[in-house]
Every structure is written in C-alpha cells, then in structure tokens.
Amino acid sequence: MVALRVLPVVVLVGVATFVLALVRRRTVAVPAADHAEVVRVARRTRTLRALGLAVGAALALLVLVGGQALDALGRITSLAPAVLGAGVLLGTVVGELTARPRVGARRSAAVETRTVRGVLPRTWTALATGSATVLGAALLLGIAWGSADDLGRAGRSFAVTCTQVIDGTAVQIGSSRGPWPGSYYAVPLLGALLVLGLLAALALVAVVRRPRPSVDSLDLDTLLRRGAAANVLTATTFSALATLAPVALFIASGLADSGCASTPLQSAVGWAAWVVAPLALAGAAAALGMLLAGPVIRVADQQAAGSGVAAEGTPVR
C-alpha cells in the first residue's frame, strides 16, 4: 500500500529530473577543425555509453519479466537494477578502451600524471559511495537478523519470539514475517554489488587511461573525462538506490507489528527503513532520469568560426 502511494511521487521525480537534466545539459560547442579528434572521441564514447544503457535496460527488463517466471520468489528479479547499471558501465569501458585518437608522424603529450581522483566529481562520488554503503549495511543487517521461512529456506524471513502473560499464564508467542532481505536475497545482491563496484573501478581506470587526443585540447579532454566519470557514478548510484528501495521496504514491513515488543535497535532500524525506502526510490528515479538525459557535457561540432577555447559552461544548445 505504501509503495502504491509513493509510486506517483517517484515517477514524478524521475520525469522532473529527466526534463531538468535535459534542460540543464551543457553542450560544449567547439570548432570542429580545432578539436576534431576530441569531437570524434567524444562521439564514440557517448554512442557506446548510450548503447550500453539501451542493452542494459533491455536485459534488465528481461530479468524483471523472465526472472519472475524462473524464480517466483524474486531472487533473479531483484538483480534487474544491477543489470542496467552494469550495461552502462560496460558501455563506458568499451567506449573508453576503443576510442583511440588518430596518430600522425609528429605526436605530442603532456608531462602529467592522470589519476582517477583527479576526474572524480565530489558530489557524485559521495552519492555513489554513500548509497552503496547504506545498501551494503542494510544487506548485512538483513543477513544478521534473518531466519528460515516456513519451508526451511534460510534467511527469507524475520522471526521473533517472546513470552507474554495471558490470563495469568506465561505463553510463548512467535511470529515470522517475510519476505525479508536475509541471506536468501542478500548474498546474490552483495555479489552483484561487488561486481558493480569492480566494473565501476574498471570504467574509471579506462576513463583515465584513454590516450589524450591532442595537447591543444587538454581542457576540453579533461572536461570530457569528468563527464564520463560522473556518468559512471550516476549508473552506480542508480543501481545501489534501486536495489536499496525494496530492501529497505521489506526491512520496514518485517519489523512492523511483529506481535512482540521490539528492541530499541529494531525500532530505530524500522523507522529509518521507512524513511530510506521512498528516498532511495526517488533517488533512483532521479539517477535514471539523468542517465536517460545523457551526459552532462556534450561536445558538438561548431561549423562557424569560434574562439577555439572550450570551457565548462560554454553555450548550451
């Protein structure tokens, strides 16, 4: 019921972010003759990222629909957000590794040390690591508090027992609620989170190691790398938050009205989960909107003569 009430808000947040990201998207227009190689590299990496997103989305849909047929308990279905994120990350890796600038007889390079830290945008780094950390903590907590369900499947429900005095007689009361994100769901999800983290690291290294197209386009090339790194972190954030939302929802509903008095820790976790679930869902919708709207920085040809200086914030087209 709560999910149904929250859903319109989430859709609204997703659409609003998509529109906002489209409107605020910066296009760095540069004279093609001055930065031809950067424009070519930018187009190739952008195309492969978009292709990765499309393939990832199609596979995620397949996992959502087909997964339910294979495993009605939703273990496969829960991996759909990670599949979409992995598609974007793989598209980024392939794009960055195959975007090779043309080399002439005379080639120059800057004497510099490029590092992953140098291209990471602070806000997105904080969001990606924060959401992945909260997801990891929620899954570990789910494993720690999970117990077997009525058919003996370990880590699929949350069980509590307590003693209550009814009509002067001490009665042992027990209840079990599920689905619960215990080991049954959490182990494959933690595995997916690990793979996603490795893919994100690989994509960031690929972004940094891509050869510089030309020393005359250093600023523009750096801008592109930062945009690509932000895209990697957006995909990671989306996967983590879209996975976290149902996990938090199941934790919240599992801890509610168990029939026994909750411990202070359980109460705190339960309330936190009620807050985290809609926030994570809205955050995932926003991240998906940004992924669909495309990269923050787009490089386009400018046929008319220009200054040749490319900088962040130059005209939006």
Is 215 near other proteins (CB under 8 A)?
yes
Is 130 near other proteins (CB under 8 A)?
no
Among 126, 198, 209, 275, binds other proteins (CB under 8 A): 209
Is 40 near other proteins (CB under 8 A)?
no
Task: Give the pairing of strands 158-166 and 169-177.
Answer: antiparallel
- Toward other proteins, which CB reaches closer, 115 or 123? 115
Helix (H, G, I), strand (E, B) or coil at 240: helix
- Toward other proteins, which CB reaches closer, 58 or 215? 215
- Toward other proteins, which CB reaches closer, 74 or 308? 308
- Toward other proteins, which CB reaches closer, 111 or 151? 111
- Stretch of residues binding other proteins (CB under 8 A), selected from 9-17, 59-67, 205-213, 227-235: 205-213
- Stretch of residues binding other proteins (CB under 8 A), selected from 156-164, 203-211, 232-240, 270-278: 203-211
Cβ of residue 42: shortest distance to other proteins, in angstroms? 17
Residues 97-126 that bind other proteins (CB under 8 A): 103, 105-114
Cβ of residue 83: shortest distance to other proteins, in angstroms? 31
Helix (H, G, I), strand (E, B) or coil at 59: helix
Which residues, listed in sequence order, are joined to residue 170 by a DSSP beta bridge?
165
- Toward other proteins, which CB reaches closer, 214 or 258? 214
Cβ of residue 100: shortest distance to other proteins, in angstroms? 9
Residue 124: left (phi > 0), alpha (psi -120 to 50), or beta?
alpha
- Torsional sign, CA 74, 285, 10, 254: positive
Kindly state the tokens that stand for 121. 């945008």
Give the total of residues touching other proteins (CB under 8 A): 17
Give the burial class of 205: count Cβ atoms within 10 A of its Cβ; 0-12 exposed, 13-18 middle, 19 or more buried: middle
Cβ of residue 9: shortest distance to other proteins, in angstroms? 45
Among 218, 256, 279, 293, binds other proteins (CB under 8 A): 218
Which residues, listed in sequence order, are joined to residue 187 by a DSSP beta bridge?
none
Distance from CA of residue 49 to its chain's centroid?
14
- Toward other proteins, which CB reaches closer, 114 or 153? 114
Cβ of residue 210: shortest distance to other proteins, in angstroms? 8
* Rg over CA atoms, the chain: 24
Q: Which candidate, 309, 226, 316, 228, places its Cα nearest to that of 35? A: 309
CA–CA separation, 238 vs 111, rounded Å?
36
- Other beta carbons within 10 Å of 310: 25
32, amino acid identity? A
Residue ranges in contact with other proteins by CB under 8 A: 103, 105-114, 209-212, 215, 218
